[in-house]
C-alpha cells in the first residue's frame, strides 16, 4: 500500500538551513521518513499553484499569500530590512514568482553584500528564473557566507546548478550529485557504489527537494536513494510520480521504474513486515515544522459540516500529565459536524465495516510505519450501518468527539459517520 503515498505527494525543530530561507519555515532534523517527506513536498509544490479566484489548494498557500501581503504593505510605508526583504523574496518563490523575487532580492543583496539569507535566496531565485549563470555566482557567495551547519547543503546546491549549466537544454537525466552509479538489483545497490555515498546523501536530496519542490529530477534522485537503502516499494512509487506527475521522459528513468515496480509487486505478496525492510536512516517523521495559524480558518458553523484539516489535529500537544491539549479552534469543533479526508484502515479483517481508523496517509506496515497519535481518527458509523472498505482517498463526515480523559483511547473520534469518495 505504500505506493499510495503518491496520492499525497506531491512537527523539535532546527532553523531552516538556506537555499530558500524564510523565517516562517523551519525544518526538522533531516532525513525525514519518506512518506512524511512526500506529504510536505507535495504541499510546498501545491503552494505555487494558482487557481481561478486564487482558491488555495493547500493551507500553505494561504500563509504565503498573507505573508506577502503583509510585507508588501510594510514596504510601502518604509524600506524593508535585509531580513524582511529575504523573507519577501522567499515567499514570492514559494508562490511560484521567481521574477518578483529577483526584483526584491537583487537590490537588497547589493545593499547588504554580507547577508547570508539574501545571497542564498537570490541564488535560488536566479535558478528558478532559468538564469543559471547568475545563480551559480550568487550561490558561490552563499557558500562563502554560510554558517558551518548550512555549508554542506549550500555546496550541493551550488554543485547542482553547476551540473545543470553544463548539460544540454531540456535534459531530464539524473544529476550526478554524488559521483555514484545507482546500479544493482531492485531493492539493492552495488556495494562498492553504495560505499561512495556520503552519509548525508538522503538529507541533502530531501533538503534540495524542499527548496525546489517542482524539480522532478531531484525526486528521482531520492527514489534511487530509497532503493539503495532497500526500500524498493517507495522507490517504485517515487519513480512512478516522476513519470506521471512531472512528465520526465529519460529512458533510464522509465527502465528503472519498470524494474522497481516489478520487484515491488513481488514484495506485495510477502508478509507485511517483510515488504518494508530497509536501512534508510531517519531523524524525523516529517520535515516541515510549522505552527498552525488558526486565524486563517473559517468561522465554525453549527448548521453545516466544517472542514477539518489534518494540520489542526497535528497541533495537538501532550501536557506533563500525558493529557492531550487541543488548540482553541479544535476545542470549539468538539461536538460539531466535521468533514475530513483520509485513508481507511480497518480494525478487523472484514470488507463491510462498521468502524475503522482514518489515517492522514496510508500505512503499508504497522510494524515499520506506526502513525503518530495525531495522525489517525477513530470512525464509528451510525447504528446498523456498514460501509465497504475503500483503498483510495475518502471523505468522512461525522460528529467530532475529543478525548480529554481516557489515556487508552484515541485523541479524536467521529461518531454517526458516513463515508463518500473524495471530491
DSSP 104-116: HHHHHHHH-TT-H
Q: Which one, of 168, 166, 141, 171, lies nearest residue 155 by Cα?
A: 141
Q: How many DSSP H helices and E strands does the chain contain? A: 15, 13
Instruction: Give buried/exposed letters for 55-89 (b at 16+ CB in 10 A, else e).
Output: ebebbbbbbbbebbeebeeeeeeeebebebbbbbb
- pLDDT attached to residue 196: 92
Complete DSSP assignment for 263-305: HHHHHTTS-HHHHT------SBS-SEE----GGGSPPP-SSSP
- pLDDT attached to residue 8: 34
pLDDT in single tens digits along all 423 residues of the chain: 333 333 333 333 333 344 899 998 888 899 998 888 888 898 899 889 886 665 545 667 888 999 999 999 999 999 999 999 999 999 999 999 999 999 999 999 999 999 999 999 999 999 999 999 999 999 999 999 999 999 999 999 999 999 999 999 889 999 999 999 998 789 888 888 988 999 999 999 999 999 999 999 999 999 999 999 999 989 999 999 999 989 999 999 999 999 999 998 888 887 654 555 667 888 887 888 765 667 768 899 988 999 998 888 888 888 777 788 998 999 999 999 999 998 898 887 776 788 999 988 766 555 455 677 888 999 999 888 889 888 888 999 999 999 998 888 999 999 999 999 877
Q: Which residue has the cell 552495488?
A: 190
Which runs of consecutive H residues, i.e. helices, occur in 293-421?
310-314, 328-333
Tell me the CA distances in angstroms from 244 to 139, 343, 417, 422, one per residue in order. Answer: 31, 22, 34, 20
DSSP letter at 371 equals P
User: What is the domain partition of the chain in residue ranges?
Assistant: 2-275, 296-421
Q: Output the CA torsion 286→287→290→292 (10° steps).
A: -20
- pLDDT attached to residue 364: 58
Q: Which residues contact 384 (CB under 8 A, 6 or more apart)?
A: none
Q: What backbone phi and psi angles, to 5 degrees, belong to 420?
A: -140, 165
> Mutual orientation of helices 59-77 and 34-47 as an angle, nearest 10°?
50
- Distance separating alpha carbons of residues 420 and 423, to the nearest angstrom: 9
- pLDDT attached to residue 46: 87
Domain at 2-275: CATH code: 1.25.40.10
Q: Which one, of 224, 234, 233, lies nearest residue 201 by Cα?
A: 224
Q: Which residue has the cell 509487486?
A: 265
- pLDDT attached to residue 318: 80
Task: Count Cβ atoms below 10 Å from residue 163 Cβ, excluding itself.
Answer: 15
Q: What is the pTM of this model?
A: 0.74
CATH architecture assigned to 296-421: Beta Barrel (2.40)
- pLDDT attached to residue 119: 97
Amino acid at each position: 500500500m505504500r505506493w499510495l503515498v503518491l496520492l499525497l505527494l506531491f512537527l523539535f525543530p532546527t532553523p531552516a538551513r538556506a537555499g530558500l530561507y524564510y523565517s516562517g519555515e523551519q525544518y526538522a532534523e533531516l532525513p525525514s521518513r519518506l512518506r512524511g517527506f512526500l506529504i510536505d513536498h507535495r504541499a510546498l509544490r501545491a503552494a505555487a499553484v494558482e487557481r481561478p479566484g486564487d482558491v488555495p489548494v493547500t493551507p500553505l498557500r494561504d500563509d504565503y499569500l498573507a505573508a506577502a501581503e503583509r510585507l508588501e504593505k510594510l514596504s510601502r510605508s518604509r524600506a524593508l530590512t535585509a531580513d524582511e526583504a529575504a523573507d519577501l523574496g522567499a515567499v514570492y518563490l514559494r508562490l511560484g514568482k521567481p521574477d518578483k523575487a529577483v526584483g526584491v532580492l537583487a537590490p537588497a543583496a547589493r545593499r547588504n553584500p554580507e547577508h547570508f539569507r539574501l545571497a542564498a535566496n537570490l541564488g535560488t531565485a536566479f535558478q528558478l528564473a532559468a538564469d543559471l549563470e547568475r545563480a551559480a555566482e550568487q550561490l558561490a557567495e552563499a557558500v562563502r557566507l554560510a554558517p558551518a551547519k548550512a555549508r554542506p547543503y549550500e555546496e550541493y546546491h551550488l554543485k547542482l546548478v553547476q551540473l545543470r549549466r553544463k548539460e544540454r537544454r531540456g535534459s531530464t537525466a539524473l544529476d550526478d550529485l554524488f559521483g555514484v552509479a545507482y546500479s544493482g538489483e531492485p531493492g539493492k545497490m552495488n556495494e562498492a557504489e553504495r560505499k561512495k555515498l556520503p552519509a548525508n546523501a538522503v538529507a541533502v536530496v530531501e533538503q534540495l527537494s524542499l527548496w525546489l519542490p517542482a524539480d522532478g529530477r531531484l525526486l528521482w534522485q531520492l527514489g534511487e536513494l530509497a532503493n539503495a537503502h532497500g526500500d524498493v516499494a517507495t522507490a517504485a512509487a517515487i519513480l512512478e510520480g516522476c513519470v506521471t506527475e512531472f512528465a520526465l521522459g529519460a529512458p533510464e528513468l522509465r527502465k528503472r521504474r519498470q524494474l522497481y515496480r516489478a520487484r515491488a509487486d513481488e514484495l506485495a505478496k510477502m508478509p507485511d513486515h517483510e515488504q518494508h525492510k530497509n536501512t534508510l536512516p531517519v531523524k524525523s517523521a516529517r520535515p516541515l515544522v510549522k505552527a498552525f495559524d488558526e486565524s486563517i480558518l473559517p468561522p465554525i458553523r453549527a448548521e453545516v459540516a466544517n472542514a477539518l484539516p489534518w494540520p489542526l489535529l497535528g497541533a495537538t500537544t501532550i501536557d506533563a500529565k500525558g493529557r492531550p491539549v487541543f488548540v482553541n479552534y479544535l476545542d470549539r469543533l468538539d461536538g460539531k459536524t466535521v468533514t475530513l479526508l483520509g485513508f481507511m484502515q480497518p480494525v478487523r479483517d472484514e470488507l463491510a465495516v462498521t468502524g475503522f481508523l482514518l489515517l492522514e496517509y496510508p500505512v503499508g506496515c504497522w510494524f515499520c510505519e506506526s502513525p503518530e497519535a495525531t495522525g489517525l481518527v477513530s470512525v464509528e458509523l451510525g447504528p446498523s450501518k456498514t460501509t465497504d472498505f475503500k483503498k483510495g482517498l475518502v471523505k468522512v463526515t461525522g460528529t467530532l468527539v475529543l478525548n480529554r480523559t481516557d489515556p487508552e483511547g484515541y485523541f479524536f473520534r467521529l461518531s454517526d459517520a458516513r463515508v463518500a469518495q473524495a471530491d
